[in-house]
Amino acid sequence: MERVKLAIVGAGPAGIACGIEAKIAQIEPVVIFEKASHICDTVVRLFRPGKRVDAVYQGIEVAPIGVCRFETESKEAFLERMQRWVEEYSLDVRLNCEVNYIKKVETGYELTVNGTPQVCADFVIIAIGIFGKPKKPDYPIPKEVKDRVFFEPPHICPVGGKVLVVGGGDTACEVACFLCKNCEVYISYRRPQFFRINPINLKILEEKVTEGKIKLLLATDIEKLEANEDGRVKVCFKEGRVDTFDYVYYCLGGSTPKGFLKYIGVEFDAEDRPIVDEYYETNLPGVFLAGDIAVPKGTIQLAFNTAHIIIKRIQEKYLSQR
């Protein structure tokens, strides 16, 4: 079995930052496991071409404390930056490698990768993010319209059609603004006003609404979806409204991959968030969480900062005693 000092689960921004901070701290060997065929899977899958990657997100400005930092830039520029860092710091990123289980053994933590125990590590950082699976509504999606209902932002804008975007955050806003160039777009949001959209996106949305390109259905809540006679999506709202759309895009955010964390023994609090200390260490000694799963309302810069704090803690708490 391969022996490493640090195993990092996830090659997103937080995972890559952990690898970089570890390299600078001369913690080696370090391996990063990524189940996708590329790094930064969330950005690759959920950010449409040209979308901004914001350094300041939802008004949360975070001062960099470690090596990794960036300014607001496009999806493409951000991905180029991350790939450049991987090469510059010679990070050992292993793609198409899904970590299925992490078990405490006498010599550290044994990681099962793609169904086989492969690595034993002194320390583990889990940086898998909250977007492993998009959130879906509680009501079922009829099989007759599943090809018209989506849970990820589109990369290609449909040519024509009536579209419903469900959600009240930045992703919902950006998807609506992207689709309205070709489609008749509506946004359904259960609250009477938006409060989670960053100022730039809100300004763009308001302009599109004023131009009549986007129509707002605020304070609306969907009860169920049905298949219309012509194969389109019939949306039934709890308020009694019924409307039909060609496509429905849900932008409800992601959920913490708590199933995996609970499976390996990470404890959760009453609000169903993983319990970590101020250094993002879990109840499992030497196992840390980085990025979105460690901090509420996280930003990419904050994810970078968690990496710096974790590596510093590993040095001070564990390695200084050896």
Is the pLDDT score of 309 beyond 90?
Answer: yes
Provide the residue ranges of all domains of the chain, joining segments of one domain with +: 2-132+254-321, 143-250
Name the helix (H) or strand (E) containing 125. strand 116-126
Q: Is 214 exposed, middle or buried (0-12, 13-18, 19+ CB in 10 A)?
A: buried
Question: Could you say which architecture CATH assigns to the domain 2-132+254-321?
Answer: 3-Layer(bba) Sandwich (3.50)
* pLDDT tens-digit series, residues 152-168: 888 788 889 999 999 99
Closest CA to 307 of 317, 292, 296, 318: 292
pLDDT digits (tens, 9 = 90+) for 9-24: 999 999 999 999 999 9
Burial 185-200 (b: 16+ CB within 10 A, else e): bbbbbeeeebebbbee
40 conformational bin, left if phi > 0, alpha if psi -120 to 50, beta if neither: left
Tokens 């006679």 -> residue? 229
321 burial class (0-12, 13-18, 19+ CB within 10 angstroms)?
exposed
pLDDT of 58 reads: 66
Q: What is the mean pLDDT of the chain?
A: 92
Dist CA 25 CA 20 (whole Å): 9
Q: Which CATH number fits domain 143-250: 3.50.50.60, 3.40.47.10, 1.10.3470.10, 2.40.50.100?
A: 3.50.50.60
CA gap 274, 197 in Å, rounded: 26
In contact, 10 and 292? CB cutoff 8 Å: no
Global confidence as pTM: 0.77
Answer yes or no: is pLDDT of 171 > 90.
Answer: no
Radius of gyration over alpha carbons of the chain, in Å? 21
